[in-house]
Structure 1
């Protein structure tokens, strides 16, 4: 077995096809079949079974896939650390919830970049379940997420607390007026978004169970729709004040028990981090 065998295996597992795996790894299907067969002989277990026109992992294949991802990630870290043996360099892939992307990423790039100019930071925005899954699957090195998180395999550092507010159109004088609407209109991110879940919890505390949701995928879009009177939303007060203070919108406080959002930095705890990731984590350990 060599690392290329595992890359072929990963491609077949992700794509569900030996033919597509061959295209993705720039080889021929016969070689994919031979490499998979070699792995099955080495581990003494069937790794794939055919279902219709696809191949799917067996239980043994699922186990090997997790190890293959880990090995691939460790090899990348080793290559990066060896190539940058006299400095901190390489690439770190960081996931963010949408508000962290807007509020914190420019600051992170500036401050961390000044300390470690040889490190390349790549940022990706997604909802909470996707960020957690991608960290566990080695697609991300770390991610900024909203607390609470209690998942085996993940460590966490507390980054900051933020205060949430209800955001409405600028012509709203009292929040109680809006809450009388039936159905109430809300403007939110998709399922899995922390802010959507918090808004729905807040509405539930007010006895409001019927509401009509408009789903958007950016803060800018949410602000535009709220400003146009198409619904209410919930966002960090700092984001609204810093970036949208000139917009025709208004904010209202949220009950104390629902107002605070704690941002965490999560990362895997099953391996030593690369030099670059260790340096990144240390910046938050100091705080």
Structure 2
């Protein structure tokens, strides 16, 4: 078994096919089949279920994938630790909730590039639960997510507290007017969004149970729906002030308890000695 076996194993899992894995790894299918067979013999388990349509990981395969990702990460860290140079070179994969991506990612990239021009930053936007899962599964090195997070394997540090506000069209003068319609319409990100949870909690507190969700997967889409008076939403006040102050939007305070949200940076505790991640954490 060698590190190339890890890559072949991951390629089969990612592509769901021995043929596609061979293409991705620039080898022949017989080699992929042989290497997977060798792994199965070594660990005395079946790693994939094979059907005429797809190849999928077994429970044992899922377990081995978890350890292979840890091994791969440790090998990369060892290479950087043993490198005879003070120059940091490599890639960091950072996750962000959508609003952090809009507000902070450009400045983060510019600042980090000035300090470490040979480290490439790759950003991914998603919901907090998905980002946390990606950090745990070594798909991301760190992620900016909404607090609170209680996962024993993860270290975390608070980045900032932000004020959330109700956002509606300029048609409304008072926040009470937002819930006077027979059916309130809200526009939100998908399940797992902190702002969506806050908005639904606010509606529940106000005794509103008859509301319709409009799920949109982009920040600009949410703003467009609100501006057109098709729905209301909750977003960070800083976001509206910085990027949308010239749009036909009205913001309302929702109180301290629901209106205060903390953004934290999470990463695996086992990564504390990683030089690349340490360089990124220095900014905070």
User: What TM-score do you get using the length of structure 2 for normalisation?
Assistant: 0.93
In 2: Cα distance, 1:84 partner to 1:196 partner: 49
Name the residue aligned to 1:127.
127
Name the residue aligned to 1:18.
18
In 2: Cα distance, 1:4 partner to 1:72 partner: 10
Equivalent residues in 2 for 1:84-95, closer than 5 Å: 85-95=85-95
Name the residue aligned to 1:53.
53
Q: Are residue 215 (structure 1) and residue 215 (structure 2) matched? A: yes
Name the residue aligned to 2:107.
107
In 1: Cα distance, 2:254 partner to 2:238 partner: 14
Report the CA distance between 1:13 and its aligned residue.
1.9
Report the CA distance between 1:96 and its aligned residue.
0.4
Report the CA distance between 1:81 and its aligned residue.
5.5
Seen in structure 2, the aligned counterparts of structure 1 residues 161 and 84 have a Cα distance that, compared at 3 Å, is farther
Name the residue aligned to 1:168.
168
In 2: Cα distance, 1:152 partner to 1:24 partner: 35
Name the residue aligned to 2:228.
228
Tell me the alpha carbon deviations over residues 30-59 of structure 1, each in whole angstroms, 9 at most, x when there is no partner.
Answer: 211110111112222222233553333233
Q: Does the 8 Å contact 1:84/1:90 carry over to 2?
A: no
Structure 1: state its 5+ residue gaps: none
What SS does the aligned partner of 1:182 have?
coil
Alignment root-mean-square deviation, CA = 1.8
User: What TM-score do you get using the length of structure 1 for normalisation?
Assistant: 0.92
Equivalent residues in 2 for 1:133-152, closer than 5 Å: 133-152=133-152
Question: How many corresponding residue pairs?
Answer: 284
In the TM superposition, structure 1's runs of 4+ consecutive aligned residues that sit over 6 Å from their partners are none
What SS does the aligned partner of 1:14 have?
helix
Report the CA distance between 1:60 and its aligned residue.
2.1
Tell me the alpha carbon deviations over residues 102-151 of structure 1, each in whole angstroms, 9 at most, x when there is no partner.
Answer: 11112212322222222221111111122112111211110100001112
Name the residue aligned to 1:283.
283
Name the residue aligned to 2:198.
198
Moved more, 66-75 or 83-92: 83-92
